[in-house]
Every structure is written in structure tokens, then in C-alpha cells.
Amino acid sequence: MAIDVIIADDHPTIVAGVVCILRSVKAIRITGTANNSDELVKLLETMPCDVLVSDYMMPNGTLGDGFEMFSWLRRRYPDLRIVAFTVIDSPAIARQLTQIGVRACINKSVDPSYLIAAIRTACTDDASFSRRAICR
């Protein structure tokens, strides 16, 4: 059974790269991509999604970005499994995100295998991955 994944990032090159990497994984199916929080909400309302991989800083949407956006997503979609994908290397932000239920916070500079592992692990109840993989 494939894991349905939505990718959200305001940088089209990042989205294209992540999609390319994840398409090579048979157990993962990309069901949509978004460039801001407005597009993301529209996708979440219409497309299947087991795991959301979203940039932390994604401006130009009415929900804002960062902690505010992730908090809103957790309230609106409590069963959604979220992997934050960011250039920010902050254990404090990672702790805040995991405290509200974000499954993992992966730095964009790490090997893509970490992102793949985070997506797979997000579908389990193993909360230890997010603490190990956070921001290198």
C-alpha cells in the first residue's frame, strides 16, 4: 500500500527535486504539490494525503507560515502526519513543532534518505525519529 504524500514549498526547484526523489520510491505516491498555504489547504480538502512534507517558511498564503501554519494544520487536520522540511537549523523550533504533533523536522541539507525515512516513519507511532533526525 502506497503512502500518499503532498509536497508544499514556495520554491519550485525544491518541489521538483523532492518529487523526483520520491517518485523513485515505490511505496510513496505524490498526490499533489503546493506553493503556499492557500494551495495546500485546497489540496488537503480534495486529495488523499497520509503525509504532508512542508517547508517551514512558506510565505504568500493567508495562513501565514511557520509555527502558525503548522499549528492551524494540526487543529484542522488532527490525523494528518506532517514532516517539516526546512533550511532552519533550530532545535528549539523542532521541539515546538514536535510538541504540537509534527512527526519530524528534516533539514534540507541532509541526505534525501532522511526525508524518505521520515515519511515512512511518520506513518508509524515511532516518535523517536523526529528527535534523532532533526536539523542534523
pLDDT per residue as tens digits for the range 40-59: 999 999 999 999 999 999 98
C-beta separation of 58 from 65 below 8 A: yes
For residues 31, 7, 73, 62, the Cα torsion angle rounded to the nearest 10 degrees is -110
Identify the burial level of 49 via C-beta atoms within 10 angstroms of its C-beta, where 0-12 means exposed, 13-18 middle and 19 or more buried.
buried
Q: pTM of this prediction?
A: 0.91
73 contacts: CB under 8 Å, gap ≥ 6: 40, 44, 52, 54, 80, 82
pLDDT per residue as tens digits for the range 58-74: 988 898 889 999 999 99
pLDDT per residue as tens digits for the range 93-113: 988 998 999 999 999 999 999
